[in-house]
Amino acid sequence: MSDKRDIRALSRKEIKSYLVELGEKPFRANQIFEWLWQKGIKDFDDMTNLSKELREHLQENFVINHIRVDEMQRSEDGTIKNAVRLYDGKVVESVLIPTDTRITACISSQVGCSLDCNFCATARLKRMRNLNPDEIYDQVVAIKNEAENFYGRPLTNIVFMGMGEPLMNYNNVLAAIEKITSPEGLGMSPKRITVSTVGLSKMIRKLADEKPKFKLALSLHSARDEVRDKIMSINLKNPVSDLIEALKYWYAETKSRVTLEYVVWRDINDKAEDIQALVDFCKQVPTKVNLIEYNPIDDGIFQQADYAAVEAYQKALQAIDVVATVRRSRGKDIDAACGQLANKNQVELEQA
Ligand code: SAH
């Protein structure tokens, strides 16, 4: 591994001051930025509008890291999962999810995850490191290309619902979104981007202060502390009442409704009191609810509740005018569905 600096970890401003110090013209920073982000070149030699001297200098001092899609799996429902190899050999996964009207990229923000949600396969990997902005951006580019090549359609949406907790890699996630949405990058609309969080109240407030244009989703799964404490240990330090306050603040600052992600499990959160707690939650904060199907991760403790329980949730929410959508899993056969991203094939390869 090289000890040169990753040039794509620098902001345009940082590149500019670096060049000025070298005695170069500041506008060269824009040219370099365009090569790096819009044209996606992999070699300084390809920056043909720079002098040979400057190209050589950059070559000696920086690297351009690139991800590599090591393995691509296609589900029978059209979902595609990429195993993405990073510059240091670590692997993350990202997923392309096609529907009739959209193509969504589900992107990872960390290698592994430090959270401890008992129902999620990624939690078993533990967190190894944060992804750099370019590693996040490149996952989007890879999926955008697959959308065009395999489906002849543009990428329409991005969700940060892959591996990791985006708000624990705050700066890099925001830097990546800035590139994804800027005209020198992919020029995508921030309204089509959703960042999903386990619900870190402090970070939600911090994010609200930036008044971002993208959307926020929160993985709630229970609005009762006694239940949420057991299934998502983060709740012990970050109780539901704090979440409500943080989401109220989010709404006041952004006027954007948060989407709550919610799985209904048998004997865990399928009773009337669980439904009532969610209804009370939603009465306090403007939300939408996605009732997502559980994807078993082998240990049998968690089981999808009966459909009647899911319907009871939906009815109770609709009765207070909260939109509640039941979401079917996608890409289950290739372990690409929510909570299934665990580098399974890599682990198997390493064990073989
Ligand atoms: N850390 C962020 C981003 C991960 S998003 C967050 O917690 O929101 C992944 C989504 O899938 C989360 O809503 C998570 O709660 C959900 N999930 C995890 N394991 C799951 C499983 N086995 N079945 C269905 N959804 C799961």
For residues 141-161, average pLDDT:
97
Per the structure block, which two tokens stand in for 310? 């899911």
- Ligand 1 centroid to Cα of residue 161, in Å, is 7
Structure tokens at 262: 């919610």
pLDDT tens digits, 46-70: 999 999 999 999 999 999 999 999 9
What's the pLDDT score for residue 9?
Answer: 86
* Contact indicator for 305, 291 with CB cutoff of 8 Å: no
Instruction: Write down the domain spans for the chain.
Output: 5-63, 68-334
In ligand 1, which atom is closest to the CA atom of 329? 24
What gap in Å lies between CA 216 and CA 230, rounded to an integer? 24
Start-to-end C-alpha separation, the chain:
25
For ligand 1, atom 9, the nearest C-alpha belongs to 161
Task: Supply the DSSP string of 49-87, one letter for each residue.
Answer: TS-HHHHHHHHHHEE----EEEEEEE-TTS-EEEEEE-T
pLDDT of residue 3: 79
pLDDT > 50? residue 350: no
pLDDT tier, 347 (very low <50, low <70, confident <90, very high otherwise): low
93 noted as active-site residue: yes
Q: Is 342 in the pocket of ligand 1 (CB under 6 A)?
A: no
- Please count the other Cβ atoms lying within 10 Å of the Cβ belonging to residue 11: 14
Q: Which residues pair with 194 in a beta bridge?
A: 159, 215
36-49 pLDDT per residue, tens: 998 889 999 999 99
- Among residues 106, 113, 282, 338, the one annotated as catalytic is 338
98-116 tens-digit pLDDT: 999 999 999 999 999 999 9
5-63 carries CATH number 1.10.260.40 = no
Hey, which residues does 265 pair with through a beta bridge?
304
Measured in Å, residue 99 CA sits from the centre of ligand 1 at 20
d(CA 266, CA 305): 4
pLDDT at 349: 46
The kind and range of the H/E element at 281 are: helix 272-284
Give the pLDDT score at 352: 39
Residue in 109, 170, 227, 263 to alter for ligand 1 test, most ligand atoms within 8 A of Cβ: 263
Share of the chain above pLDDT 70, in %: 97
Orientation angle between helical segments 240-254 and 201-209, nearest 10 degrees: 10
Model-level pTM greater than 0.75?
yes
Question: Catalytic pick from 93, 146, 165, 261?
Answer: 93
- Give kind and range of the element (H or E) at residue 195: strand 193-197
Atom 12 (ligand 1) nearest CA = 219
pLDDT at residue 178 is higher than 50 = yes
Q: Provide the 8-state DSSP code for 257.
A: P
> Cα–Cα–Cα angle for 236, 239, 240, nearest 5°?
145
Known catalytic residue: 282?
A: no
Decide whether any atom of ligand 1 lies within 6 Å of the 123 Cβ: no
pLDDT tens digit string along 70-87? 999 999 999 999 999 999
Q: How far is the CA of 67 from the centre of ligand 1 (A)?
A: 24
Q: Is the dihedral of CA 234, 293, 92, 139 positive or negative?
A: negative
**What are the residues whose beta carbons fall under 8 Å from the beta carbon of 13, sequence distance 6 or more?**
none
Q: How close is the Cα of 234 to the center of ligand 1, in Å? A: 14
Q: 303 Cβ partners below 8 Å, 6+ apart? A: 265, 266, 294, 296
At the top level of CATH, which class does the domain 68-334 belong to?
alpha beta
pLDDT score at 351: 44
273 alpha carbon – ligand 1 mean position (Å): 23
CA 214 to ligand 1 centroid distance, Å: 19
Q: What is the average pLDDT value for the chain, to the nearest integer?
A: 94
What pLDDT, in 10s, does the model give residues 221-257? 999 999 999 999 999 999 999 999 999 999 999 999 9
Give nearest CA residue, ligand 1 atom 19.
339
- The string over 266-283, giving b where at least 16 C-beta atoms fall within 10 Å of a residue's C-beta and e elsewhere, is eebbbeeebbebbbebbe
Ligand 1 contact via 339 beta carbon (within 6 Å) = yes
Q: What is the pLDDT of residues 262-316, one digit of tens each?
A: 999 999 999 999 999 999 999 999 999 999 999 988 778 899 999 999 999 999 9
- Atom 3, ligand 1: which residue's CA is nearest? 161
Q: Whose CA is nearest to atom 25 of ligand 1?
A: 338
- Nearest-CA residue for ligand 1 atom 8 is 197
From the CA of 121, how far away is ligand 1's center (Å)? 9
Q: Is the CB of 219 under 6 A from ligand 1?
A: yes
Greater confidence (40 vs 213) lies with: 213
Residue nearest atom 15 of ligand 1, based on CA coordinates: 219
Could you give the dihedral angle defined by the CA atoms of residues 147, 149, 151 and 155, in that order, rounded to the nearest 10 degrees? 20
